Amino acid sequence: MTTSVHIDELIETAATMATSGNRSILGITGAPGAGKSTLGSRIVDALGPDMSILVPMDGFHLANSVLVATGLRQVKGALETFDDAGYVNLLHRIRDQKSEEVIYAPTFNRDLEEPIAGSILIRADVPLVVTEGNYLLAETGAWPTARTWLTESWFLNPERDSRQRWLVTRHMDFGKSQEEARAWALGSDENNAILIESTAHRADRILRVDGL
């Protein structure tokens, strides 16, 4: 069941996780355009860098050269175009991070459309790691293990029409024509959304967020 909630309440919940006395990992998932990165960023901005850090799943995109070599370039963003084992291993390291250990995580550069290794420095004394991405609750490959490392998982479920409109705008912002943006948002992105939405039952909470 989808619960409507204001973003301020979610920030308060995240703050409680950050003060639990243990390292917590909050996973935010949902279909493309659901608002995952926006919510993750808002939480981390509100809590500050000493309490939280954002580690997106998108840093584990396979490089374009690999996608071309494997015939997957036209479905970039699909489940099979990510390094699932690499992401799971990172979550494991984050959950068990030792006090003297520094961990580096990759990011995804949307201008280059490529992952960039070693872009995020994760300190052991930061109590809450927020991670967001499409496939946190997927049930094939290494993905199921990712769920085991999450302290809590939230599935964002906005209205489909508004989500698709936002996707079209985002694709246009990154250089696609309106026709190309609509084709991608209603084609590849929507195919991925069907798979992602089938995993919602594995989340701790299914949310429609006000105030994003």
Ordered per-residue pLDDT tens for the chain, 212 residues? 899 999 999 999 999 999 999 999 999 999 998 999 999 999 999 999 999 999 999 999 999 999 999 999 989 999 999 999 999 999 999 999 999 999 999 999 988 999 999 999 999 999 999 999 999 999 999 999 999 999 999 999 999 888 888 888 888 888 889 888 888 778 888 888 999 999 999 999 999 999 88
Note whether residue 109 is domain-resident.
Answer: yes
Note whether residue 182 is domain-resident.
Answer: no
Q: Single out the residue of 2, 43, 17, 39 nearest to residue 205, CA to CA.
A: 2
Note whether residue 171 is domain-resident.
Answer: no
Task: Name the token pair of 190.
Answer: 């929507």
**What pTM does this model have?**
0.92
CA distance 190 to 184: 8
Note whether residue 146 is domain-resident.
Answer: yes
Note whether residue 174 is domain-resident.
Answer: no
Note whether residue 191 is domain-resident.
Answer: no
Give the count of domains, the chain: 1
* Residue 57 pLDDT: 98
Note whether residue 186 is domain-resident.
Answer: no
Note whether residue 179 is domain-resident.
Answer: no
CA distance 158 to 35: 8
- Output the domain CATH number for residue 114: 3.40.50.300
CA distance 57 to 132: 6
- Which domain covers residue 42, as residue numbers? 2-159+199-210
* Residue 191 pLDDT: 86
Q: Single out the residue of 26, 120, 134 nearest to residue 82, CA to CA.
A: 134
